Chain A
Amino acid sequence: MRRTIPALVLAAVLLLVGCGSTAAPAPPAAGPSAERSLILATTTSTQDSGLLDELLPAFTRDSGWQVKTLAVGSGQAIELGRRGEADVLLVHSPAAEQAFVAEGTAGQRRLVMHNDFVLVGPANDPAQARGLDSVAAVSKIAAAQALFVSRGDDSGTNAREKDLWKKAGITPEGGWYQATGQGMGATLRVASEKAGYTLSDRATYLAQRDTLALDVLSEGDPGLLNVYHVIEMTTKAGERVQPDGALAFADWITAPPAQQQIGSFGQAEFGQPLFIPDAGKDEAGLGT
């Protein structure tokens, strides 16, 4: 022991030194040649679908910026931006985003892409929601007291789901309405295991469809459009925010090469694109 412990400590201290040198983050003022890294706060759907794995290496290659991705709900992503903990946001909760941008700490907000939300549930469809528009479908589920699994995490998907309940004039509560507080992938899993209904973005659902016992029951109405924006943060949110990194990322993801990559993502695997690139389009014209 007396020999083992010092040896272990020594080994570990060496590791720590190695750790510190490889992990040292670039200071905000680093020149273009230094390794710079920015923090992207985004939604679980962009990570769970695998889109970011495809896009980010290309961004790093093109710009020299390393990206630290925090995949959280849109609500938390916006909060990280507000606190100056993230440099750039890629989120899909339009009402919350507009309110956030109006606060004045964020910079430009640009349209990036969209897909849509789908209402999914067990194939036997106990509430008979299949084929109805989204608001009618959730009304049926509430009336039947069929299990509905909610994200319950203030994510963009959760905000949209609450919106549907509001439009249906229903306050969902009771044993049939359960909140997981987890990401989309985990929530789909819970819904599948418990034979419940849930609202999902199409990309995450398609990426995991093979392992889920859930069918798409309601889709395609304008209320289910899922729009992603990139929001640059400014130093008004915190003095360590890196606006140059934010601008580099926002410019890159709305430029033609990245937009093309977004448009073809998932085509080979799922037979349909998971996201539709929209940079520069008019948001009002989406989904028509």
Chain B
Amino acid sequence: MLLDGLSEAVRLLLTGDEDTWSITALTLQVSLTATAVALLLGVPFGTALALGRFAGRRVLLAAANTGMGLPPVVVGLFVTVLLWRSGPLGALGLLYTPTAMVIAQAVIATPIVAALTAAALQQVDPGFLLHMRALGATRTRAMGALLAEARLPLLAAGLAGFGAVVSEVGAAQMVGGNIEGQTRVLTTAAVLATSRGQFALAIAFGLVLLAIAFAVNLFVTLAQQREEAKGAGASQGAPATEERTAPGSRPSGPARSSS
């Protein structure tokens, strides 16, 4: 059966099966968009949680950490109720569209990105920001340097968010409705194929899902590693994690004490 699934997956992809390709494209489109939205919201939020000094910060941090385990089906239910024709956002007519799926998946991924961002920034030496400011960097530039310093864990945060949403089925099913040609993604297609008893097809969808998750991770990792290699070359044999373009500082940049 697994071999059948494997050969079915290869056949579907090689023969350019139109449905499989459009389902795969939609999966990527929805999950990458949701991850991008989660990064836009989660990185600033996580930064504030890590570095901010305001009342309730710890409670919010605990909330973000809890949110990492947000069950997709619960998110799906809430988003569905909000988007119902009779619901508060019903006039938008978004339920059962890819946009609704992006909304639900962004809600799932944002706490993951925020909590991992906060964890990453809290690991950087607390003296780093002070050091940067002392070297004459503006607050924004110092923050930028800090984010750059924590880039590896931030990358992991983005990939964790993507991994969570590309593989979830509960919210995609509820807010998307698994409508053929419109909101059918790889996970919901696999569930449908299973309930129809088409196991080879279901396994094939699962394998395609694994393959694209791997491809996205590989692409980002390679891009990141290449940049690291360039950075190492530019600073003449300094360790690869050395900050190479810290603004307002001398070319060598501040030493990273935590590495």
Contacts and interface: CB of A to CB of B under 8 A. Distances in A.
A240 B92 CA distance: 11
A66 to B, nearest CB: 8
A255 interface: no
Contacts of B155: 1, 4
Interface stretch (B55-63, B163-171, B176-184): B176-184
A284 interface: no
A16 B102 contact: yes
Contact of A48 (B86, B102, B196, B227): B196
Interface of A is mostly: helix
A15 B152 CA distance: 25
Nearest to A50: B196
B179 A69 contact: yes
Task: Give the bracket for the number of chain B residues in contact with chain A.
Answer: 35 or more
A4 B195 contact: no
Contacts of B102: 16, 19
B96 interface: yes
A3 B220 CA distance: 11
B29 A18 contact: yes
Contacts of B32: 8, 11-12, 15
B33 interface: yes
Contacts of A24: 97
A212 B197 contact: yes
Interface in A1-32: 1-5, 8-9, 11-13, 15-16, 18-20, 22-25, 27
A192 to B, nearest CB: 10
Given A20-B99, A48-B196, A68 B182 contact: yes
Contacts, number: 121
A183 B96 contact: no
B111 interface: no
Interface stretch (B125-133, B143-151, B207-215): B143-151
A186 interface: yes
Interface string A70-105: 110000000000011100000000000000000000
Nearest to B191: A186
Q: Chain B: interface secondary structure?
A: helix
Contact of A12 (B35, B90, B96, B224): B35
Contact of B86 (A83, A182, A208): A83
B248 to A, nearest CB: 15
B180 A53 contact: yes
Contacts of B223: 4
Contacts of B179: 68-69
B220 A4 contact: yes
Nearest to B85: A240
Contacts of A18: 29
B29 A3 contact: no
Interface stretch (B6-14, B36-44, B65-73): B36-44
Interface string B75-114: 0000000001110001001111111001000000000000
A19 B197 CA distance: 31
Given A8-B158, A85-B84, A238-B85, 8 more contacts: A3-B227, A8-B36, A9-B40, A11-B36, A15-B32, A25-B96, A186-B194, A240-B93
